[in-house]
């Protein structure tokens, strides 16, 4: 593997900020970021990436490539929970297996945003419609996860699932709603809207991303102790499954003719795991599942793995097979 790709990714201010946050926890610093600020930054990043995607989509329009990419993204989001569920059932009960499977079928918007930053640093173009794929990959995973619970939970433990609440959480949770809303706003306003909001959505973007990843480093490091509950099986799962999902994503990307930048983003979407939207939905609808399992594996293992090692590794694979 080309180690220069790993080095260029690590020597990126947002990623270095993530390391600084982790170091603060390990060295027992009193560094902390007040709770409302990371939430505000998260909303900002979702809005900025969604709006930019909408502007780009207004330029390119929706063609066969866009439709195939979005369809493939939703298909992966629905299929990943199914096959990972049966792997997880080797060691876990149906509730925990379904919650973790749904987590890995969904996506991490911050991992996606970090990948766009990496591509920009490498001078590789990517299309705005990938944001539409991002927005549409959370809901199918939540729904499939709950179907798995309904089908495979023990008969004596089965209970009615309030599907109206499930669908509301799947399609109207804050991250999905803000992404789709800002995407539509970008489509409607186009280049004029981009010029008006550019100081907000472009000039501030990497500074906010850097500060947000500092907070993510703090949170990820604090979750490491929860991995004792997860055990070696889940830690291995949290590293191997993203690689497998990324490989499947790259095969799909090659088959439908995605360019290099879009292929990396698609692989990252397939390889990432949700630590915000899906955990919130699982806590609401599957209280029998242990949150320390599905949050710690996604946030303390898969998220750092992807932003440090995964992103440059997936690009290296693209450089080999696309050229």
Q: Give me the residue spans of the domains in the chain.
A: 3-321
pLDDT (tens, 9 = 90+) of the chain, 323 residues, equals 566 676 777 778 888 998 899 999 999 999 988 888 888 888 898 898 889 888 888 887 778 888 999 999 999 999 999 999 999 999 998 999 999 999 999 989 889 999 998 998 889 999 888 888 888 888 888 889 888 888 887 644 555 666 676 677 667 777 778 888 888 999 999 889 989 998 888 888 889 989 988 988 898 888 887 777 778 999 999 999 999 999 999 999 999 999 999 999 999 999 999 887 788 778 777 888 888 888 889 988 999 999 999 999 999 999 998 87
Characterise 127 by phi-psi region: left (phi > 0), alpha (psi -120 to 50), beta (else).
Answer: beta
Instruction: Kindly report, residue by residue over 221-274, the tens digit of the pLDDT.
Output: 888 877 777 789 999 999 999 999 999 999 999 999 999 999 999 999 999 998
Query: How does pLDDT run across 36-77, given as a tens digit for each residue?
Result: 888 888 889 889 888 988 888 888 777 888 899 999 999 999
Please report, rounded to a whole number, the percentage of residues in the chain having pLDDT higher than 70: 94
Give 112-161 as a 3 state SS string: HHHHHHHHHHHCCCCCCCHHHHHHCCHHHHHHHHHHHHHHHCCHHHCCCC
> What is the maximum alpha-carbon separation in the chain?
59
Q: What is the DSSP string of 33-97?
A: --THHHHHHHHHHHHHHHHHHHHHHHHH---HHHHHHHHHHHHHHHHHHHHHHHHHTTTS-HHHH
- The structure's pTM equals 0.85
**289 φ, ψ to 5°?**
-75, 145
Question: What span, in angstroms and rounded, lies between the C-alpha atoms of 193 and 170?
Answer: 29
Q: Kindly report the CATH number that applies to the domain delimited by 3-321.
A: 1.20.1530.20
């Amino acid at each position: 593997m080309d180690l220069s790709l790993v080095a260029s990714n690590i020597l990126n201010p947002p990623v270095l900020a993530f390391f600084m946050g982790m170091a603060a926890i390990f060295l027992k610093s009193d560094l902390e970021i007040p709770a409302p600020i990371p939430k505000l930054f998260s909303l900002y990043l979702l809005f900025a990436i969604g709006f930019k995607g909408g502007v780009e989509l207004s330029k390119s329009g929706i063609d066969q490539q866009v439709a195939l990419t979005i369809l493939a993204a939703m298909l992966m989001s629905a299929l990943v929970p199914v096959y990972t569920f049966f792997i997880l059932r080797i060691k876990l009960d149906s509730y925990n297996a379904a919650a973790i499977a749904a987590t890995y079928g969904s996506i991490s918007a911050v991992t996606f945003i970090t990948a766009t930053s990496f591509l920009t640093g490498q001078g590789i173009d990517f299309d705005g419609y990938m944001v539409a794929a991002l927005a549409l990959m959370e809901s199918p995973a939540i729904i499939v996860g709950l179907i798995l619970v309904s089908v495979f939970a023990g008969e004596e433990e089965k209970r009615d699932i309030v599907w109206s609440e499930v669908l509301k959480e799947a399609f109207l949770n804050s991250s999905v709603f803000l992404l789709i809303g800002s995407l539509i706003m970008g489509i409607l306003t186009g280049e004029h809207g981009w010029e008006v909001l550019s100081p907000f959505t472009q000039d501030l973007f990497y500074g906010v991303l850097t500060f947000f990843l500092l907070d993510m480093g703090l949170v990820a490091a604090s979750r490491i102790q929860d991995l004792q509950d997860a055990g070696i099986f889940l830690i291995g799962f949290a590293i191997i499954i993203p690689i497998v999902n990324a490989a499947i994503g790259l095969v799909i990307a090659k088959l439908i003719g995605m360019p290099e930048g879009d292929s990396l983003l698609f692989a990252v979407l397939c390889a990432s795991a949700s630590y915000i939207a899906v955990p919130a939905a699982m806590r609401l609808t599957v209280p029998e599942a242990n949150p320390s399992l599905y949050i710690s594996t996604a946030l303390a293992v898969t998220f750092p793995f992807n932003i440090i090692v995964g992103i440059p590794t997936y690009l290296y694979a693209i450089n080999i097979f696309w050229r």
